[in-house]
Structure 1
């Protein structure tokens, strides 16, 4: 977004008191320049912030793009903080999510002279499960390193109020112990759990409901959109404002939640499962003139033909595209309204 274009866009905005207040924060001698060392007023940033302010004020939707160095983060956070309304800010990954929470929000609150309750909310697997932590020693652990990591987690959980695994020092992100001491939606006992009152996930969600601003990532936001839960235990609270930072990554992440994934390895796994069931339960029904190996080869040839057809359509390994499958006619067309991901794996 060039400065000239930004200035022209800002000139066409009907400046309310709120829009003018937001713009004044970014002006030379404004609150940000007085409180933030090295801050330089930029017309493009002022325009960006005022567009966000007007969008919030009119309860509209806006899609904004600006180049590196524009100062987008402060430009959308400032109107949120000054609005006094409930907001959810979603980022593509945890790195920016934690930067917003630990650095940008505190800096802006101090500069603007406002106090806003901001909470960081992550997915369930990021929090220690007290029930599983209590019972893990009875399950048995595979390695000595897992026991060493467990002791660190136990010490952390005894004194920390969040249960956020990111706060545990000395335990790698890929340690096997995490699968033993965190929960999933499938194995969570919910309100039947004896530790429900102290559950770190429940506490985090309650704090998010009470906060003015909740910082999440796209995976959690889209996951919440897919799951129906009781109103008192929903992943995300209701909000007046939703901001998607790094919104260009939403389609890719969204395809995992709202699309279908196809991989050659998954198809072959299913073929092997069919083979196992067929041989164990229905051996007598097999045509003696047609062996399983011939059936398997026939299915594999059909899959390879399908892969070639996808390649002709420009759908390659690891890519997400809109695909329509017509099984009855044996055709594959592109595009359609549903999203699919194809991953080719060695068989």
Structure 2
């Protein structure tokens, strides 16, 4: 079957949708993907490209543009997304459509991280010993009934279970609790069943965290999570660098250690003789004391900081002494746990957790030093815990070693991969060479007539000026009066979000919804339903908000989303770029902020019929030289600094 028979007028998509609109960018993208996957009739060149990077802006229909050729290729393909939401959308909506159009089964399987599935062994242990949890928890009976009918064990099916439920942490199939081949529930294990099905599937739908967790596991030589595959397609590929950084570093958490001690105590009291428990408890108490002594070294405010700076302050001798004491305590407990494997299979899992904690702490605290140019080591101090980490400064060498050289085809796509019309940033950060094929497909939406970009005029203060917050709130209030609510306000910090929400609630008549006061799903459902409401948010709401229609008629962004340069990983990468003779602000910080801004702006137009105003409340777009890079990266909307133009824009919509 030819791709033209699917994507052009008179094709399968046109026959399926009564309001079908032909998109040349969608067909062109599908041809690029098809060529890379070995469909010769889709290729304009002799040699299919190994690496393909495609920016497909909102409205192109990129998901179908890669799913159709992936299925037609007959190859084993992994589709990796940044979010569970997109993963679920592909499985629940897009793949069924492709199967209907092509009249064939996709033989697809959705795979998520282990923590998304229930562990039957942990569940039966909890039910047999209710004192391990509140025995009158109503969710227990609901889960019992669910287990009688579920075929996946996926917590996404448990709509009644709170997102932060402490119950789920006691029963999820986390790798640190897995007994492997020694588990008595192995034959019924949902993870085991999933892996068997994965071997037979043509298409695996995963997320970036699972994909790179699998690559890290394979690279360490300790096994794998995914079966072999011939090609991988990354959607939301602008997240790849951050996810690779997470899985190819090391992490030690004080909370993980305390959690391990608590689990050992629970298990000991259930399975060991009282005299053996009495022998074990002093070691556990001693480890708790050493953990508290270790965390006391981390004085000062909460936040993320370079670890080398802390070591310099407390001196290397004090640091090593505290680390060695903690390592000895972990090793001593680990040795004792090894003697108890005769009492049950679950003790082996506890031994493994202790060993991993010891190894990670040793690596971060003692083995990686300030002279190691490939990693940055840092710590995060929280209210009740400390986390130590190492992060690779560059992920390009990692990607070449573990991904590009081990897969036939690698395709990266997103609505936002370029800055100022250039792929230079992605080329540099992901190590994409001259053999990589690049393509950009602009949005087919009519931004010139359906949108307006508002930037405050010359009298508006810069974000670092004293009166910025008051002017921001005053101007946004005026905009919301003209838009009749219907606005998503994206802030660059939680503090700014809370301050602005408080002011708006006192000054506008519309409902003000604020991130964190309800679940994201509930907030978006209410925002969609209450057409004149205002949603104030930060962080994850810059992406993944897909609300077409009148409810979202205005996107307001408080300021350009530059990251805090004091973050230890960001700071180390900036210093590395500077030491190579390049300007980190223009080659690193500006591109990252541009990509974030493009994601936020992209929340406005989700369908061809949508129309609305984008308001970016940052005059640096006009006053600073780098402002032109941001403006070149935005949709081709008419630009104004006049409130009257916003009023005219919406009056025009009313009169149409």
TM norm structure 1: 0.71
Q: Structure 2 regions of 5+ residues with no counterpart? A: 39-47, 252-302, 330-378, 380-562, 581-656
Length, aligned pairs only: 278
Question: Within the alignment, does 1:27 sit opposite 2:68 as a pair?
Answer: no
Residues 191-206 of structure 1 mapped to structure 2, 5 A cutoff: 191-206=181-196
Give the secondary structure class of the aligned counterpart of 1:155.
helix
Give the secondary structure class of the aligned counterpart of 2:148.
helix
* Contact 1:322–1:335 under 8 Å retained in 2: no
Question: Within the alignment, does 1:140 sit opposite 2:92 as a pair?
Answer: no
- Partners of 1:125 and 1:134 lie apart in 2 by 17
- Partners of 1:265 and 1:251 lie apart in 2 by 20
> Which residue in 2 is equivalent to 1:94?
84
Q: 1:77 to 1:106 in 2, by over 3 A?
A: same
* Per-residue deviation, residues 114-158 of structure 1 (Å, max 9, x unmatched): 22211100111111100000001316345467x222222222112
Residues 1-347 of structure 1 mapped to structure 2, 5 A cutoff: 21-57=2-38, 58=48, 60-137=50-127, 138=129, 140-143=131-134, 147-228=137-218, 234-259=224-249, 263-264=304-305, 274=322, 277=325, 316-318=565-567, 320-321=569-570, 323=572, 333-334=576-577
Give the secondary structure class of the aligned counterpart of 1:202.
helix
- Partners of 2:566 and 2:122 lie apart in 1 by 38
The Cα shift of 1:259 comes to 4.0
Q: 1:90 to 1:336 in 2, by over 3 A?
A: farther
* Contact 1:205–1:234 under 8 Å retained in 2: no
* Contact 2:126–2:133 under 8 Å retained in 1: no
- Partners of 1:229 and 1:157 lie apart in 2 by 35
Give the secondary structure class of the aligned counterpart of 2:191.
helix
* Contact 2:27–2:65 under 8 Å retained in 1: yes
* Contact 2:120–2:189 under 8 Å retained in 1: yes
Q: Structure 1 regions of 5+ residues with no counterpart? A: 1-17, 282-302, 304-313, 326-331, 338-347
- Partners of 1:120 and 1:276 lie apart in 2 by 43
The Cα shift of 1:323 comes to 3.0
* Per-residue deviation, residues 194-238 of structure 1 (Å, max 9, x unmatched): 110110011111111111111000000000011139999731111
TM norm structure 2: 0.39
* Contact 1:128–1:157 under 8 Å retained in 2: no
* Contact 2:116–2:156 under 8 Å retained in 1: yes
- Partners of 2:219 and 2:131 lie apart in 1 by 33
**Worse-matched range after superposition: 218-227 or 153-162:** 153-162
* Contact 1:205–1:233 under 8 Å retained in 2: no
* Per-residue deviation, residues 76-134 of structure 1 (Å, max 9, x unmatched): 11101111211100000100000001100001110122222111001111111000000
Give the secondary structure class of the aligned counterpart of 1:221.
helix
- Partners of 2:3 and 2:27 lie apart in 1 by 8
* Per-residue deviation, residues 235-265 of structure 1 (Å, max 9, x unmatched): 1111112100000111122211124679339
* Per-residue deviation, residues 251-303 of structure 1 (Å, max 9, x unmatched): 1222111246793397599969829959xx9xxxxxxxxxxxxxxxxxxxxx9
Q: 1:323 to 1:25 in 2, by over 3 A?
A: same
* Per-residue deviation, residues 52-99 of structure 1 (Å, max 9, x unmatched): 111111362201102111111111111011112111000001000000
**Worse-matched range after superposition: 49-58 or 212-221:** 49-58
Give the secondary structure class of the aligned counterpart of 1:62.
strand
The Cα shift of 1:187 comes to 1.6
Q: 1:193 to 1:111 in 2, by over 3 A?
A: same
- Partners of 1:59 and 1:140 lie apart in 2 by 59
* Contact 2:304–2:568 under 8 Å retained in 1: no
Q: 1:85 to 1:56 in 2, by over 3 A?
A: same
- Partners of 2:110 and 2:205 lie apart in 1 by 5
- Partners of 2:194 and 2:10 lie apart in 1 by 39
Q: 1:237 to 1:276 in 2, by over 3 A?
A: closer
Instruction: Please tell me the root mean square deviation across aligned C-alpha atoms, in Å.
Output: 3.5
The Cα shift of 1:50 comes to 0.7
The Cα shift of 1:31 comes to 1.2
Q: 1:25 to 1:139 in 2, by over 3 A?
A: same
> Which residue in 1 is equivalent to 2:462?
none
Give the secondary structure class of the aligned counterpart of 1:183.
coil
- Partners of 2:172 and 2:148 lie apart in 1 by 15
